[in-house]
């Protein structure tokens, strides 16, 4: 099962985490369901629910031009958020 690395930018902080998923369409849901919100200071109370709502309603996983296996997500229900993710090569360590 591939590993996906997520890069979340929110309120001046960058938060990086990884999940395993069957494909890039499932990876964002796996990511948000397992995201440690305690690591994100000052996140809104409905942060997880708003991200899930954005992912379910829009499924805007836009490939980044010129970069292989890398996508950007539009999360319109959370202000000031940027989310990118990439399928990550395993190095065995």
Task: Name the residue with tokens 């985490």.
Answer: 17
Domain of 58 in residue numbering reads as 3-88
Instruction: Encode pLDDT of 1-33 as tens digits.
Output: 999 999 999 999 999 999 999 999 999 999 999
Decide if 18 is inside a domain. Answer: yes
| Domain count within the chain | 1
Tell me if 77 is assigned to some domain: yes
Residue 71 lies in a domain: yes
What pTM was estimated for this model as a whole?
Answer: 0.88
Residues 77, 2: contact at Cβ < 8 Å? no
When pLDDT is cut at 50, 70 and 90, the band that residue 41 belongs to is very high
User: Tokens in use for 50?
Assistant: 């708003």
Domain membership of residue 93 (yes or no) is no
pLDDT in tens, 26-35: 999 999 999 9
E-strand ranges in 1-93 read 3-10, 13-20, 61-63, 70-73, 81-88
Question: How sure is the predictor about 81, in pLDDT bands with cuts at 50, 70 and 90?
Answer: confident
């Amino acid at each position: 099962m591939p590993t996906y690395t997520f890069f979340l930018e929110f309120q001046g902080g960058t938060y990086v985490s990884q999940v395993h998923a069957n494909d890039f369409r499932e990876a964002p849901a796996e990511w948000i369901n397992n995201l440690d919100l305690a690591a994100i200071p000052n996140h809104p109370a409905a942060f997880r629910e708003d991200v899930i709502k954005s992912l379910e309603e829009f499924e805007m996983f836009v490939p980044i031009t010129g970069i292989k296996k890398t996508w950007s997500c539009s999360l319109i229900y959370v202000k000031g958020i940027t989310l990118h993710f990439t399928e990550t090569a395993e190095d065995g360590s």
